[in-house]
Structure 1
Amino acid sequence: MRLITLCALWGGVFFLIIKYRVNLSDIEDRLENVLGINSPLPQVFARPISFIFVFGFPFFATTILAFWVIFPMLPAPLVEINASPILKEILPETTEPPSPSPGIGSTMTRLRDSAIMIYVPSGSFEMGSQDGDMDEQPVHKVNLDTFWIDRAEVTVAMFHTFVKQTNYQTTADKEGHGIAFVDGEWYSQLVGVNWQHPHGLKGPASKNDHPVTQVSWQDAEAYCTWAGVRLPTEAEWEYAARGPKANRYPWGNQPPSPDLVNYYRLHLDTNLGTTPVGSYPKGKSWVGAVDMAGNVWEWVADWYDSDYYKVSPKKNPKGPSRGTHKVRRGGSWAADNTYIYSAHRHNQAGLDPNFRVDDTGFRCAGDAQE
């Protein structure tokens, strides 16, 4: 009985093969229709695949052929795959040369606070001033690696985001007082002064697009750390301001004027205080950084030492390893032209890391790969 059944089964198979007789053109047509491939199929593959094709699995048969037989025979890829912009950011590029390094004035936007940073290429310059104060001497050559520096000073709006996200309290907030210029008088101690009320509770509130003030060195460092960067060193700050030609001012060697810089307002008029960052584009530095002279003094990373230039290393100097006072750079809206030249190192009694006043702010910097 079993023998009769097997004979009948194989007879049926043979009948189907004879009846439907799969030929090469059937399979090749299916390959072209399903996969878009038009390639001759060798005779050796026709017989085994015909059984699969006949018994009701034509798509399965052609798929097997495509992956196991046809694809290896092809001399080149079927399609050119272009990665999406997102994938190109994630996956390493293996077929194209790396993109060129940024050039002078190239910018990027910092993610945490949307600050625009400017690329400063590696180079050397003569740091210091032979005609300036004694702590600016001797003039010495400094070599710096590439770095990024903020295009403008950190604004009130940016600092507000920092405080809101971290619940940070500034030195002035914790101590309940600060220093401000009142009625043209230098450095008056006022209660209630802070970054939101830089001129005291009776004065105008700070404005979002102006540089933040009433921030101590400690506050500035805390902000930069939160933003994923740091304060610039004295050498980096001066190089970004003066450039390889060691200009006297960010814009060159031309004396300061009201269209180049916000300065000397304490003596010239009653419209005292800061201006929106970037209000003096003609006064930008060689890399495009604005307000590196005037508007507000800027904290830098270094401890102060009047004799540091005598022992400063030539490569990437970072200042003394310890100290009691910090350094401000660039002058402010209250300073005259004896303070706003780019080599000036401003230090005075009381400029410890907790000092704050309504003409002092900061900008951040960051490392860059060569």
Structure 2
Amino acid sequence: MLEIDDSTDERYWASVERVVALAEDRGRAADGIPLLASVAVTHPEWPVRAGAVRLLARHHAGDPAADTAVAAATHDTVDWVAFTALKVIAEHRIAAAVPDLIRISGWPSNFTRPDWTRKPVGCGAALTKRALIAVFGTRDPAELRRLEDEYFSDMRARIEAARKRPRRNTDVVLVPGGPAIIGAEEKPDAFRMAQDDSTLRAVDVPAFLIDRTTVTNARYHAFLDEVGDSGEFDHPDQPLERSHRPAHWHDPRFNAPDLPVVGIDWYDAYAFAKWAGGSLPSEVQWEKAARGVDGRRYPWGEEWDPDRVNYVERSFGEEVADLDSLEALLVTVSQGGNPAHPVLPADALPQGASPYGALQMSGNVWELTRTNYYTGDDMDPFFKGRHPLDFMNRKEAFHVLRGGTWTSPRSCLTTFYRGKDLITDRHNEVGFRCVYEVSD
């Protein structure tokens, strides 16, 4: 494409016209749709983007790829590009744009009602309303509702089917509804692992089911075999062009079928949980499943018992007394070497079970949750297309880890200790388990 000359207003608009004319010449044929679609999205000058939108509709309206590109232009950050898209959608009655129009204005059946209260209408709202009426071919509220329901029936059926997806695991335990003791009043110990959640409190937790063990490589393999790279269960914010294959899939120390899957990040765990018919646990759900209702310090009780847990001394075979000795031991870790057997099978050490029968909620691998470390709310990431360096200092990018792992000292293995991790990190120390709704 030609460069834009912005030395004067006249030259700017003249060069815009030349670029748009060139785009029309190259994009008029059917095989020119990708070119016009790219210009409509990526060209740095908004008049050129708007021109490409007009050309897509003029020459290719009705082609799915062209209609999709026009619909996407309704969300352009420059109003005149979005307005152009809205106008050509109305002119050509581009039905593929309905979901995008709905995102802008809400359900179309309401704004034609004379008694409907609305915010002040600007150009965008007026053009969106006009486009929706043009696509559906009526202003009657009842008819718009009927057509709207008909248009979205397949989408709603898919959403409902996904919401009611059957649970893919029978090896679960029930955590009954009722109160739980959460948090602790804890001071740093010799490892200087401070407990930041110092508010000891009681909260009511509805009943739920939770995996008895962390997700194993065998279960995760079944997920990969079925889903592949389809993206069907991916979080909308998942990084582009990546698979769910674990980072340590070919490391013999971590890839045996009965070991917890590791080398996955939060997006991987999210997709697996959705595929499995559940979700990642909230921090509170995880703590109740590990702790029960009596506020115990470890899943098995109040007293420390190293025989019930896989932690740094068991995995490395050496004792540690303080932070300095812990760090001196951890720096001996090596790829394919030390320690030789860092993790245990997911169903090992049954004597360390929680009050409800969940295994290894202390040690072996940290467990991902859906809770943001800083806010306590569910994670709601918005980092798609960005490098982790761009958000590694953003509070929105850190989820809570629970339970400690094979490199952890005793102070990280309590039922209330909170760890955190960046949403895109993939460690050999981190796994997860899922929670599920209790069926009626």
Q: Which residue of 2 aligns with 1:129?
A: 184
Q: Which residue of 2 aligns with 1:240?
A: 289
Separation (CA, whole Å) in 2 of partners of 1:325 and 1:215: 15
Q: Which residue of 1 aligns with 2:211?
A: 150
Question: 2:222 is matched by which residue type in structure 1?
Answer: T
Maintained 8 Å contact 2:310/2:406: yes
Separation (CA, whole Å) in 1 of partners of 2:239 and 2:345: 23
The structure, 1 or 2, with the larger RCO (C-alpha pairs under 8 Å, 6+ apart) is: 1
Alignment CA distance shift 1:111-1:275 (3 Å): farther
User: Residue 426 of structure 2 is aligned with which of 353, 356, 363?
Assistant: 356
Maintained 8 Å contact 1:172/1:356: no
Aligned pairs (5 A) from 1:175-324: 194-197=247-250, 199=251, 204=253, 206-257=255-306, 259-264=307-312, 265=314, 267-269=316-318, 270-305=339-374, 308=375, 318-319=377-378, 323-324=396-397
Q: Which residue of 2 aligns with 1:332?
A: 405
- Per the TM alignment, residue 175 of structure 1 is displaced from its structure 2 partner at its CA by 6.6
What are structure 2's unaligned runs of at least 5 residues? 1-164, 188-193, 319-338, 382-395
Structure 1 segments of 4+ aligned residues over 6 angstroms from their partners = 169-176
Alignment CA distance shift 1:139-1:361 (3 Å): same
Separation (CA, whole Å) in 1 of partners of 2:182 and 2:174: 20
- Per the TM alignment, residue 346 of structure 1 is displaced from its structure 2 partner at its CA by 0.2
Question: 2:433 is matched by which residue type in structure 1?
Answer: R
Q: Percent identity?
A: 31
Separation (CA, whole Å) in 2 of partners of 1:283 and 1:174: 40
Scaled by the length of structure 2, what TM-score is found? Answer: 0.48
- Per the TM alignment, residue 367 of structure 1 is displaced from its structure 2 partner at its CA by 1.9
- Per the TM alignment, residue 291 of structure 1 is displaced from its structure 2 partner at its CA by 0.8
Cα deviation code 1:210-255 (max 9, x no counterpart): 0000010110010000111000100000001011001000000111
> Based on CA coordinates, which of the two structures has the bigger radius of gyration?
1
Cα deviation code 1:267-287 (max 9, x no counterpart): 435443111111101000000
Aligned pairs (5 A) from 1:55-70: none
Separation (CA, whole Å) in 2 of partners of 1:173 and 1:213: 21
SS of the aligned residue for 2:410 comes to coil
Cα deviation code 1:289-342 (max 9, x no counterpart): 00100111000110111xx5xxx7xxxxx5576722111100111111011111
Cα deviation code 1:88-136 (max 9, x no counterpart): xxxxxxxxxxxxxxxxxxxxxx966434111110111221010153521
Question: 1:122 is matched by which residue type in structure 2?
Answer: G
Alignment CA distance shift 1:337-1:204 (3 Å): closer
Question: 1:144 is matched by which residue type in structure 2?
Answer: V
Scaled by the length of structure 1, what TM-score is found? Answer: 0.56
* Structure 1 vs Structure 2 CA RMSD: 2.9
Maintained 8 Å contact 1:113/1:227: yes
Tell me the matched-pair count: 229
